[in-house]
Chains A and B, each alone.
Chain A
Amino acid sequence: MTEKRSKAKERSGHPLDDLLREDRIPHIWCPGCGIGTAFSSCLKAIRSSGVEPKNVVMVSGIGCSGRAAGYVNLDSFHTTHGRAIPFATGLKLANPVLHVIVFSGDGDLFAIGGNHLIHAARRNVDMTVICVNNFNYGMTGGQVAATTPKSARTTTTPFGNPETPFSLPHIAYASGATYVARWTILHTREIAKSVEEALLKKGFSFIEVLSPCPVNYGRRNRESSLETLKIYQDKTIIKNGAHPSSVDIDPEKGIILGKFIDVDRPTCKEMYDKICRSE
């Protein structure tokens, strides 16, 4: 194993290789999928934040983006479906020195794991949640998800989606997150900067990353991954500090991006220590 690893190191030389389990690369994500970009921005942020890699833990749930935990050469945890945040909460409470990153998808964090997310935000557990939003359940075949835009076609909504999608930053804000941002995979530097700020921030930080899903969502909505990125280039508006209730994802009116919320609130552990351990 180690021989194989050192061989791989000789062959390549990517600057992020030491944060990757190189024997598992290439990863399973499809050509044009944005998860790899979100993942590399995240690794870049870990590198530039100056946090010791041995104090960083990556937790992810099930789904395409859930595979990230298996590719990162840090302590990592690939958990049960939707339960990435409870595992991460446990890690953080057991060892408060750790910087816990939850890297997962919209289906995992907001559909099956929706309750965990809102309660972790309410308690203000000190962790960084990166949600890669590809607007459908990519791994299981492109079914309609809680984030699928109105009238978008998926496997289970062949005539168009009749339901209204969640606004993820609004949920995170309403539940009590202290840092809320949204970017697309085209905004790699902004993602890296946000993740870095979130890592160093005390409190629950939520970063949504919009990403193309060329094989499932894109194919059924007649969008190649490059066309999706062109939409991200032409139709996005950066409004830092915008109220999360006003941040739409509507290509007609513009996709609002930016760092929406950055406030300070006592964290779960601080409150517990103050109230229950003050004697």
Chain B
Amino acid sequence: MEFWRIPLDVEEIQITRGVVHILEERCKGCGYCIEFCPRQVLAFSSRFNERGYHPPVIKNPDDCVNCHYCEIICPEFAIYSIEISEQDDKRPDPRLHSNPR
């Protein structure tokens, strides 16, 4: 997340992190999860699943904040996200990205 200045309570803000799981064999390629992901985590893949649709692929795995929107909007029950705790999280802290000066 990019901040134009570091918020005063940045140490207290907890940003949940998630990992997206895609059940490719269920996907029918409607693109809802890709289009409406608030963090643009997903993109269409170029390969086909066994029924001939293009399933989504995870483009920006570090950006997922585990909002579960893809999970509910998916009409096929083909995508879900699971929260990862900070200890297990090997990814860079999103707060470190901000560089105001």
**Chain A residues engaging chain B, CB cutoff 8 angstroms:** 12-17, 20, 25-27, 29-37, 39-41, 44, 185-186, 188-189, 192, 225-226, 229
Check A17 against B75 for contact (C-beta < 8 Å).
no
- By the criterion CB–CB under 8 Å, are B72 and A41 in contact? yes
**B48: interface (CB < 8 Å):** no
Residues of chain A contacted by B77 (CB below 8 angstroms):
14, 16-17, 20, 25, 36, 40
A226–B35 CB distance below 8 A: yes
| Highest count of chain B CB atoms <10 Å: which of A35, A39, A40 | A40
Chain B count of residues within 8 A CB distance of the other chain: 22
B1-30 interface mask toward A, CB cutoff 8 Å, 1 = contact, 0 = none? 000000000000000000001010010111
- With A37-B73, A40-B74 known as contacts, the answer to whether A229 contacts B36 (CB < 8 A) is yes
A33 contact set on B, CB distance < 8 A: 75
Instruction: Choose among A29, A35, A37, A39 the residue that contacts B32 (Cβ–Cβ < 8 A).
Output: A37
Determine the residue in chain B with the shortest Cβ distance to A16.
B77
Q: Is B44 an interface residue (CB 8 A)?
A: no
Identify whether the interface residues of B are mostly helix, strand, loop, or mixed. loop
Partner of A34 from B21, B36, B75, B80 at Cβ < 8 Å? B75
Task: Report chain B residues within 8 Å CB of A189.
Answer: 72
When each residue 49-85 of chain B gets 1 if its CB lies under 8 Å from chain A and 0 otherwise, what string results? Answer: 0010100000000000000010111111110100000
Q: What would be 6 A-B contacts, judged by CB atoms less than 8 Å apart?
A: A12-B23, A14-B71, A14-B78, A31-B53, A40-B72, A40-B74
Select B76's contact among A15, A36, A41, A192, beta carbons within 8 Å.
A36
> How distant is the Cα of A72 from the Cα of B76 in the complex, in angstroms?
13
Nearest CB of B to A188, in Å: 4
Please tell me if the beta carbons of A188 and B73 are within 8 angstroms of each other in the complex: yes
> What are the residues of chain B within 8 A of A188 when measuring CB–CB?
69, 72-73
> What are the residues of chain B within 8 A of A226 when measuring CB–CB?
30-32, 35
Which residues of B sit under 8 angstroms from A37, Cβ to Cβ? 32, 72-75
Q: Which residue on A lies nearest to B69, using beta carbons?
A: A188
A-B complex: 8 closest residue pairs judged by Cβ atoms: A36-B75, A31-B28, A188-B72, A32-B30, A37-B75, A31-B30, A14-B77, A12-B23
Q: Distance in Å from the Cβ of A126 to the closest Cβ of chain B?
A: 26
A223–B30 Cα distance when bound, in Å, is 14
